C-alpha cells in the first residue's frame, strides 16, 4: 500500500530529470546563468549548497581502490542526492539538508557486544586510529552511478571497538529521526522512519564495507550523509545508509527501510548489484554515469566481485540481487 505513494527515486530509469538540465535550471534560478557561459559549473554552487565550514581532514590515500572512470565533481555529488529525510526529490534535498546539524553528534554502538559505547562522532573518529581515502563507485538502484573520493574507515574498526558476541549475526544501523532537522520526516509520515539498514557480520567485516566521515578532502557534506554514513560499493545505493546515529549488533535480520516500504517486492535485504537481474519495473543492465552523459554496462557486484562474491556461497536460494 505504501508503495503507491510512488516516490520519485523509484521511477523508471530515464524518467528522472537529466542532471545536465537540472544544473542549468538550478543555476538559472540562482542567478548564475552567466557562469554557465564559460562552460563550467564547478565553483558556481550557491553558498548554501557549498556547505562551507566543513573542516579539511587528515588522511592517507589507499591506492588499492582504483577507478575505471573519472571522479564525479564535488558539486554534482553535493547537489544530486537521495536523502528522503529531506524530501523525495534529488533537486531539493541538498538545500533542505542545510538544516541538518552534524555536530555535536552522538553515536550509540550497542546490542550483543562485550563493550557497548556511546560517544561523540569526533571521539569515534579519534578512536579508530587514522582515516583513509578510497575512490569508490556507487550504483543506485535507479540505474545512475557516480564515483566518490570517500574519507573514513572500515566498518571492521567498529567491530574491533565493541567486540560483538558469537550470537551477533547482523549489524543494524539507524539514521537520526529528528523532524526539527529534516522536513521530510514530518511531511512524509507514511514512510517508516527512521531509515534502517542491515548487513550480515560477514558483509560488515569485509574490507570494502566503509564508513565515510569525509569526501573531497574534508568533512562530508550534509546532503551526502554527514557526519557519518556507510558505503557498500557492491550493493545498490539504498543500502548505504546516511547520517547514522546507532549501530546495533543483533541476532535477527533487520528489515531495511525500502524492504519495509515495498514489502520486499521491489527492494530486498541483499540488494547486490547484478546487471542480469532486472528490477521488477526496469532493466539493470546499464547505468547513467552522473555528469558525463554516458551510459555504460553495469558490472556484477558493481565490479567488486573478487572481494565479495564468496560472501554469498550457499545462499543461492535467497533473493540476492534486489
Ligand X SMILES: Nc1nc2c(c(=O)[nH]1)N[C@H]1C(S)=C(S)[C@@H](COP(=O)(O)O)O[C@H]1N2
In terms of Cβ atoms closer than 10 Å to its own Cβ (0-12, 13-18, 19+), residue 37 is exposed
Strands, DSSP E only, in 176-257? 196-200, 210-215, 218-219, 229-231, 244-250
Residue 85 contacts which entry, Mo ion, ligand X, none (Cβ below 5-8 A, type-dependent): ligand X
140 sits near Mo ion (criterion: CB under 5 A): yes
Residue 224 contacts which entry, ligand X, Mo ion, none (Cβ below 5-8 A, type-dependent): ligand X
288 sits near ligand X (criterion: CB under 6 A): no
71-110: b (≥16 Cβ within 10 Å) or e = ebbbbbbbbbbbbbbbbbbbbebbbbbeebebeebebebe
Rounded Cα distance between 143 and 137, Å, is 13
**Pick 243 or 302: Cβ nearer ligand X:** 243
Residue 175 contacts which entry, ligand X, Mo ion, none (Cβ below 5-8 A, type-dependent): ligand X
302 sits near ligand X (criterion: CB under 6 A): no
Interface segment toward ligand X; rule CB under 6 A; list 78-86, 102-110, 162-170, 262-270: 78-86
Task: Tell me which residues in 234-273 interact with Mo ion (CB under 5 A).
Answer: 237-238
273 sits near ligand X (criterion: CB under 6 A): no
For residue 133, which of 34, 64, 85 has the smallest C-alpha distance? 64
Q: What is the CA radius of gyration of the chain?
A: 19
**Pick 94 or 112: Cβ nearer ligand X:** 94
210 sits near ligand X (criterion: CB under 6 A): no
Let me know how long the chain is. 322
237 sits near ligand X (criterion: CB under 6 A): yes
150 sits near ligand X (criterion: CB under 6 A): no
Query: Applying CB under 6 A, which residues contact ligand X?
Result: 9, 81-85, 140, 175, 195, 224-225, 237-238, 240-243
Amino acid at each position: 500500500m505504501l508503495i503507491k505513494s510512488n516516490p520519485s527515486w523509484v521511477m523508471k530509469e530515464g524518467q528522472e530529470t537529466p542532471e545536465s538540465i537540472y544544473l542549468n535550471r538550478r543555476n538559472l534560478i540562482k542567478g548564475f546563468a552567466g557562469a554557465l557561459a564559460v562552460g563550467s559549473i564547478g565553483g558556481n554552487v550557491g553558498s548554501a549548497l557549498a556547505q562551507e565550514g566543513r573542516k579539511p581532514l587528515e588522511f592517507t590515500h589507499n591506492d588499492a581502490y582504483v577507478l575505471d572512470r573519472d571522479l564525479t565533481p564535488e558539486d554534482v555529488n553535493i547537489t544530486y542526492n537521495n536523502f528522503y529525510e529531506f524530501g523525495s526529490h534529488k533537486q531539493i534535498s541538498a538545500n533542505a539538508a542545510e538544516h541538518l546539524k552534524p555536530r555535536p553528534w552522538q553515536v550509540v554502538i550497542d546490542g550483543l557486544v562485550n563493550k557497548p559505547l556511546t560517544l561523540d562522532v569526533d571521539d569515534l573518529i579519534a578512536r579508530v586510529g587514522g582515516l583513509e581515502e578510497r575512490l569508490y563507485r556507487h550504483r543506485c538502484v535507479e540505474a545512475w552511478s557516480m564515483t566518490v573520493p570517500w574519507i573514513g574507515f572500515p566498518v571492521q574498526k567498529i567491530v574491533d571497538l565493541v567486540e560483538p558476541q558469537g550470537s551477533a549475526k547482523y549489524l543494524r544501523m539507524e539514521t537520526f529521526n529528528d523532524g526539527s532537522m529534516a522536513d521530510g520526516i514530518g511531511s512524509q509520515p507514511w514512510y517508516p522512519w527512521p531509515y534502517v539498514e542491515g548487513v550480515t557480520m560477514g558483509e560488515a567485516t569485509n574490507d570494502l564495507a566503509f564508513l565515510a566521515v569525509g569526501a573531497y578532502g574534508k568533512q562530508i557534506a550534509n546532503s551526502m550523509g554527514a557526519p557519518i554514513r556507510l558505503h557498500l560499493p557492491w550493493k545498490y545505493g539504498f543500502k548505504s545508509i546516511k547520517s547514522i546515529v546507532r549501530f546495533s549488533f543483533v541476532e535477527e535480520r533487520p528489515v531495511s527501510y525500502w524492504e519495509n516500504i515495498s514489502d520486499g517486492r521491489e527492494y530486498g535485504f541483499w540488494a547486490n548489484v547484478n546487471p542480469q537481474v532486472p528490477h521488477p519495473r526496469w532493466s539493470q543492465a546499464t547505468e547513467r554515469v552522473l555528469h558525463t552523459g554516458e551510459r555504460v554496462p553495469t558490472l556484477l557486484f558493481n565490479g567488486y566481485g573478487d572481494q565479495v562474491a564468496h560472501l554469498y556461497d550457499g545462499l543461492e536460494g535467497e533473493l540476492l540481487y534486489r
